[in-house]
Amino acid sequence: MATAADSVYATTITDEMAASAAARGTGIAKRTPEYIAQKIEEGKAVIALTPQGEWVGFCYIETWSHGEYVANSGLIVAPAYRKSGVAKAIKQKIFQLSRERYPHAKLFGLTTGLAVMKINSELGYEPVTYGELTQDEAFWAGCKSCVNYDILMSKDRKNCMCTAMLYDPGDHYAPEETQRFFEEKKTVLARLLRFKQWKLLQPFLKKEKKPGSKTVGFLHHLFKQ
């Protein structure tokens, strides 16, 4: 668990969040170093460091609807340590911390990546509709800094690029079941993610056809993978 002394990494963390989103060509709700430092000081964050004090990864807890919903947000790993199992370890730790601090809360997340969906599935999360997430206005206001915010609002906050996932402590499948489902359906899920993103972008592509536009750039990046 991060301690107040770890606030010195706040700027490094937010810079990497922004760089990672730009490299992937995806939207992200922006965080400030001050906001990250606040989460660290409140004891609502997990950080990974090397024995030499080099920053490796980070994630924090956010609460909504008076603690009824909890999000494990801002998961980020330094480029040199990706695909090493660090992200999974951080998610497991932040999930454990969330369950300890908010045992009755519903844990949810939004992601555009299949890798994060896999990690969430191993913890017992399952894909859900946006209607099953918190309807707290403060949560959705955090999406305003995302490049896909217009898409979200055009769908009345019922759909967007991200896939919603939820862990309900009062009604959930065993992690073994959600993990097995993901492994059996991951190829289909990957295709569905791309199809969903393609369909959602179509109305905006008709309005924004310049080769250098942000939306066209995102679509080119998405489908060349």
205 CB contacts (<8 Å, ≥6 apart)? 215, 216, 219
In terms of residue numbers, what domain contains 187?
4-224
pLDDT in tens, 23-67: 766 556 678 999 999 999 999 999 999 999 999 999 999 999 999
Q: How many domains does the chain have?
A: 1
The pLDDT of residue 57 is 97
Confidence at residue 222, expressed as pLDDT on a 0 to 100 scale: 42
Distance CA 12, CA 92 (A): 22
Query: The domain spanning residue 48 has which CATH number?
Result: 3.40.630.30
pLDDT of residue 162: 85
Mean pLDDT of 194-219: 56
Please say if the pLDDT value at position 190 is more than 50: yes
CA–CA separation, 148 and 28 (whole Å) = 8
Strands 69-77 and 106-111: parallel
Model confidence over 72-131: pLDDT tens digits? Answer: 988 999 999 998 999 999 999 999 999 999 999 999 988 877 888 888 999 999 989 999
- Mean pLDDT over 180-198 rounds to 76
